[in-house]
Amino acid sequence: MTWRPLPRPGDDDKSRPPRPLGDSLGAVARHLGAPPPEALARLFERWDELVGPAMAAHTRPVSLVRGTLVVTVDQPGWAAQLGWLETELLRRFADQLGADVVMSLVVRVHPG
C-alpha cells in the first residue's frame, strides 16, 4: 500500500468538500417519513399556542411520522375533545407548520 494525498475539491466529479451535518438532516428525515426538522421543532416548541393552554396542560405531542401526529392525553375526556377539534387543529397545523406536515391525529390516553 502506498501513500496518496487526499483528492482536492474539483479533482474529479466524486470529490467535494465536506458539508455540515445539519445540511443533510432534512433529506434524511424525509427519507424516514419525518417532517422537516424546523417544522417538527415548531410543533413541539409552540404546542401551547397551537392547541391552547388548557388543552396543552393535558396533552402532549409524542411523534410525527408520515403526516400522522400521535398525541397522548391524561384523561379520556381530553381524547374526546381532541376528536371534536381535529378539523380545526389540522387547519392550525397546516397554517403554522405547512400543508403536508400534520395530516391526521392519533390520540392515546396515558394517565400520569
Domains belonging to the chain, first-starting first, are 34-109 (3.30.300)
Tell me, what's the pLDDT at 112?
67
C-alpha cell at 82: 381532541
Question: Does residue 20 register a pLDDT over 80?
Answer: no
Which range, 34-38, 65-69, 105-109, is most confident?
A: 105-109
Residue range 71-97, pLDDT digits in tens: 999 999 999 999 999 999 999 999 999
- Starting from the edge strand earliest in sequence, which strands make up the sheet with 68-73, in order? 59-65, 68-73, 104-109
Residue 39 or 73, more confident: 73
At residue 16 the predicted structure's pLDDT band, cuts being 50, 70 and 90, is low
Rounded alpha-carbon distances, angstroms, from residue 78 to 8, 15, 57, 71, 108:
59, 55, 10, 11, 10
User: What's the pTM value of the predicted model, to 2 decimals?
Assistant: 0.73
